[in-house]
Structure 1
Amino acid sequence: MIQQPHPDSAGITLTCAVVTVSDTRTPETDKSGQLIQQLLVDANHTVGAYTIIKDEPTEIQQQIEELGKSPNLDAVIFNGGTGIAPRDTTYDAIEKLLEKTLPGFGELFRFLSYQEIGSRAIASRAVAGVYQNKLIFSLPGSSNAVRLAMEKLILPELTHLISQIRK
């Protein structure tokens, strides 16, 4: 039996940014970005910003630095660019900026992914950490991966992690 974490304070609404990293998606075709936004709203959180950027390290880093300056933002959830293809640069760009990493996020995400998709889960470079007192999550671009990460890891722990950052 999996032990559930202690309940967080009810009624806390957090403000999150959603960033899709893709060379081809548009707001109309960005199913994963739309899913993240919907799951956040369903969990009574607010989407403070949404954008799609190219899979270019400088664009990714500029985006994270810009969002890091926003005083009203609690977390940033990136999706896309976490694989090992030559154009997958999200992990490399974000990991360099993180002030603290949450290794357990990537480990648990790959473990849960393995249960769904098998050994292909090893290709995921999903990562999470803290930058400028904001939680940063970087997920694969697949909607199935996004749903898994949001429902099993991010949403259950988001309020608790933010409260830890604010201590």
Structure 2
Amino acid sequence: MSLSAVAAPIACAVLTLSDTRTPDTDTSGQTLCQLLLVGGYEVRDYLIQPDEAHLLEGTLLEWCARADIQAVLITGGTGVSPRDITPDVLARHFDKPLPGFGELFRMLSWEQVGSKALSSRAVAGVVRKTLVFALPGSTRAVTLAMEKLILPELSHLVRLIQGEGHR
């Protein structure tokens, strides 16, 4: 069975957190959308908004309440600067954190950027039966996470969360 055939019904939403990016300069968000589409997934929503906790929380809860979105992918706000709030906001809403994602992402990042991987706070978890990934704002990091971790497991994880996996 091909990845496209398995993944076609899964719909995603992409959120870029940035105080400076626009639709023309959001290469990370565009990369997320493109890789999802090439993988056979649907992109139901795409938004760029500032790194503000209340905006992130509002969008997250809105998208996770929608029956037509099974996964939310966020890029930006996962570092250690004062404006980086993504993991902190998500932690308040995770019903089930997936710590293995961040651990594996940092391990793979080590191979690309060395000790700079230490500053990544990439996270994943489940919010209201919706799979949520938070990735760094770097296009290179987004590509790494998507190709090595997210795309190979997205369909499987969504099926498990929806109760269609191991019985």
- TM, length-normalised to structure 2: 0.93
Pairwise CA RMSD: 1.3
Aligned to 1:139: 135
* CA distance in 1: counterparts of 2:129 and 2:86, whole angstroms: 20
TM-superposed deviation, 1:11: 3.3
Q: Residues 48-67 of structure 1: matches in 2 within 5 Å? A: 48-67=44-63
Q: How does 1:10-49 map to 2 (within 5 A)?
A: 10-13=5-8, 14-49=10-45
Q: Is 2:69 the counterpart of 1:73?
A: yes
Report how many residues are paired.
161
Q: Deviations over 1:53-108 (max 9, x none)?
A: 11011111111011011101010000001000011111111111111000000000
2: CA distance, partners of 1:12 / 1:146: 19
Tell whether the 8 Å contact from 1:128 to 1:138 is kept in structure 2 after alignment. Answer: yes
Q: What residue is the counterpart of 1:85 in the other structure?
A: 81
Deviations 1:137-164 (A, max 9, x none): 0000000000000000000000000010
Counterpart of 1:102, as a letter, is L
> Taking structure 1 as reference, are residues 158 and 73 closer, same or farther at Cα in structure 2, changes over 3 Å only?
same
Tell me the amino acid that sits aligned with residue 110 of structure 1: R
SS of the residue 1:11 aligns to: helix
Gaps of 5+ in 1: 1-6
- Partner of 1:23, secondary structure, is coil
Percent of aligned positions that are identical: 50
User: Separation in 1 of the partners of 2:136 and 2:34?
Assistant: 17
Where 1:125 maps in the other structure, the secondary structure is coil
1:10 shift after superposition: 3.9
Q: How far apart, CA to CA, are the structure 2 residues paired with 1:23 and 1:95?
A: 22
Give the alignment partner of residue 94 of structure 2, picking from 81, 98, 101: 98
Residue number in structure 2 paired with 1:159? 155
d(CA) in 1 for partners of 2:91, 2:154? 19
Distance in 2 between the 1:46 and 1:94 partners? 23
Query: How many angstroms apart in 1 are the aligned matches of 2:11 and 2:97?
Result: 20
Distance 1:52 1:82 in 2: 15
